[in-house]
Structure 1
Amino acid sequence: MTALIVVMWVSTGAAQTLVSYSPVGDAIPTSLTGQPGDALRGRAIVVNRQKGLCLLCHTGPFAEERFQGDLAPTLAGAGSRWNAGQLRLRLVDSRRVNADTIMPSYYRIDSLNRVGAAWQGKPVLTAAEIEDVVAFLLTLKE
């Protein structure tokens, strides 16, 4: 089996630099930033209807949030179903796990269709934001 190295964007303030990672099976086992994410910031991204848009398709343990989606699996129990690496790959590029998914690639900028001008060449979430969401999803055990 050959190793695949994928190069993605990481936002570091105003500048953007490249980071490489190697998917292993159905996961990206190492942090994109080299640091663990912050679960509180991750939760804020998940429930934010302008940033992550997660609740457009997913439901979860967010009693204060109205109109949660039902097009995708519930986020409740995500931390029991998947490990950090599996969650990271699903956020970065879920098409690697399911070619027919409707979930957007939150951290990929190449080979995308119908990307708005303001988003061209930019990931939806930064590497740090991906790690924050992973950290939060890992807390959802039930």
Structure 2
Amino acid sequence: MSDRSTPRAWVTWALLAAVAVLAVLPLATGAGEGMEEPFSGADGQAESLVGELNPDYEPWMAPLVELPSGEVESGLFALQAAIGAGVVGYALGVARTRSRPGDRAAPGPGAPSAGPEASDAPGGPRDR
């Protein structure tokens, strides 16, 4: 009987290699060369585009806290992503553990069962 539910080790390494290629590819190909901020976020790009399209536009709200630098903002974003990944990973682990077959099924061989045969009640195995 083959167990198809567990991935082979080469699949894990192939996925890690694919992630590494996707992370390095934009840097290696020179994506964003000639741009002032090549890897700026979508918020900054949208703000500059709105400023170009409608110079009289005034934002509805202002930021609650002005962060001292972009590095602090990036660090907080990374922290938020790590916390979110931890929550999702925990939820997936709990869901996987709950859905495992056999965890709450009949006990395995050699384990006492909860049925009447295991008790000292009349008709149990000791009376036979």
Q: Normalising to structure 2: TM-score of the pair?
A: 0.24
- More contact order relative to length (CA 8 Å, sep ≥ 6): 1
More strand per residue = 1
Q: Which has the larger radius of gyration?
A: 2
Q: Normalising to structure 1: TM-score of the pair?
A: 0.22
